[in-house]
A and B are shown apart, each in its own frame.
Chain A
Amino acid sequence: MISLSYFLVFAAALFCIGLYGVLARKNAIAVLMGIELMLNAVVINLIAFWRFRTPEMIAGQAFGVIVFAVAAAEVAVGLALFIAIFRRRNTIAADEIDLLKW
């Protein structure tokens, strides 16, 4: 019989793969893809906890819907920033965007 552990381990793995993408990739859009994977892992956890622990309450699903909105807002602004940076500096490699360090 399937238990909560399956989904938690799966979500943890997805989260860590996403984290690797965020930390290791050079291209900023690839970094954003990693963040998307991490957010998806979070929503899986929310839904899994709802399904296994409190199926009579709706909190998990309501939180999940809000996370969707946040993810969309994050992608929209993030990609807009990359496009603006690309227009000015002709690069979106994350380690070359370093104007703020001084």
Chain B
Amino acid sequence: MTVFQAIFLVVAVVTLGGAVMVVTVRNLIHAALWLILSLFGVAVMYGLLSAPFFTVIQVVIYIGAIAILMIFAIMLTRRVAQEPGSSVNKGWWMAGLMSLVLFTALVWMFSTWSGFQTTLPQLPEGIDTIKVLGTALVSPDGYVIPFEIASVLLLAALIGAVVVAWERKT
């Protein structure tokens, strides 16, 4: 077992453990904190995949913004979070079964694919992926349409969310 594999396994166990806690723990704030741990593990995964830009934006966007938004929303709907009773609905065992079946099916499907055991190729020398990404995002034969549409989508999300959540003072 190489060092790389050992690091991968530790990070994977932490991430998946955090994810399991997210979907099982009763207290919603605790769930959000476990979610943050899990998201951080995913960020380290991006680092292992030599995509450092994704590592940092994962932390900036998911932990710094989305998780905080969720904690705010939990605090705003506080009374429900402390309601007694089960935190899962009646069909939880069916959901668990479905997830297990899906997982087995996915792994089985991947294992029949020839590219499943692709080993790590060398990254092309002397190329700054962030530069390439930046160029691709705004070049017409690249991803300029998704780039601008993402901006419009975010604008729409902002307006929509404000319309829905905003309560005019009277």
Contacts and interface: CB of A to CB of B under 8 A. Distances in A.
A2 B120 contact: yes
14 contacts: A2-B4, A8-B116, A10-B12, A10-B16, A10-B45, A24-B91, A30-B23, A30-B28, A61-B51, A65-B137, A66-B147, A72-B154, A80-B161, A83-B165
A81 B95 contact: no
B165 A3 contact: no
Interface residues of A, number: 73
Contact of A83 (B76, B107, B117): B76
A1 B2 CA distance: 7
A47 B153 CA distance: 23
Contacts, number: 248
Contact of A47 (B51, B88, B165): B51
Given A23-B91, A44-B42, A92-B77, A75 B66 contact: yes
A79 B50 CA distance: 33
A92 B165 CA distance: 14
Interface of B: 2, 4-5, 8, 12, 15-16, 19-20, 22-23, 28, 31-32, 35, 38-39, 42, 45-46, 49-51, 53-54, 57, 61-62, 65-66, 69-70, 73-74, 76-77, 79-81, 83, 86-89, 91-92, 94-96, 98-100, 102-103, 106-107, 110-111, 115-124, 129, 132-133, 136-137, 142-143, 146-147, 150, 153-154, 156-158, 160-162, 164-165, 167
Contacts of A32: 70
Interface string A23-38: 1111101101110110
Contacts of A5: 110-111, 116-117
Contacts of B121: 52, 55
Q: Looking at A1, A8, A71, which has the most chain B CB atoms within 10 Å of its CB?
A: A8
Interface in A36-69: 36-37, 40, 43-44, 47-48, 50-53, 55-56, 58, 61-62, 64-66, 68-69
Given A9-B107, A52-B115, 8 more contacts: A12-B107, A24-B89, A30-B22, A33-B22, A33-B35, A33-B70, A40-B39, A75-B66
A86 B99 contact: no
Q: B-side binding surface: helix, strand, loop or mixed? A: helix
Q: A-side binding surface: helix, strand, loop or mixed? A: helix
Nearest to B34: A33
Contacts of B74: 29
Contact of A30 (B31, B102, B150): B31
